[in-house]
Structure 1
Amino acid sequence: MLQSKFKSYDELPLFLNARTVAQVLGISQAGAYELLHQEGFPVLKIGSRLVVPKEKFLSWIESRTGGNTL
């Protein structure tokens, strides 16, 4: 598993790209792109860019972990 460079959620940017999602979750960038294209994942398309609002990402994590975030 890849190690995240972020030590807390406060360090995350307001909008996450695929690389940042991959770093936070400890997955490959290809895995992050698959996630960004999944139904129900909180992605925002701006032109050809896919970004994830930080707060929506944290809510998505909480909904899948029963609210047990760091």
Structure 2
Amino acid sequence: MNVRLLTVAQAAGHLGVSTKTVQRMYRAGEVPHVRLGTPPRWVRISQTDLDAFIARRRIEVAM
């Protein structure tokens, strides 16, 4: 399984928001994340999970 993991800064850039916003989102459980290191201090968000988050938040416009 080949999973692309993004840093918080990369995820923020992808969404066009600040890193603090991404931190609030994963702390609130809105976006799944992975903690790496010993002790676990580095947060990574998979590209797939970020894409799924975007799809869930998408609002369709009726024409």
TM-score, length basis structure 1: 0.64
Shift of 1:66: 5.3
Secondary structure of 2:45's aligned partner = strand
The whole-number CA distance in structure 1 between the counterparts of 2:25 and 2:46 is 14
C-alpha RMSD of matched pairs (Å): 2.1
Instruction: Choose 1 or 2 for highest CA Rg.
Output: 2
The whole-number CA distance in structure 1 between the counterparts of 2:16 and 2:30 is 20
Identify unmatched segments of 5+ residues in structure 2: none
Alignment-derived partner of residue 61 in structure 1: 54
Alignment-derived partner of residue 32 in structure 2: 42
Q: Which has the higher contact order (CA 8 A, sep 6+)?
A: 2
Shift of 1:56: 1.3
The whole-number CA distance in structure 2 between the counterparts of 1:32 and 1:22 is 6
Contact 1:44 1:50 in 2 (8 A): yes
Alignment-derived partner of residue 22 in structure 2: 32
TM-score, length basis structure 2: 0.69
Identify unmatched segments of 5+ residues in structure 1: 1-12
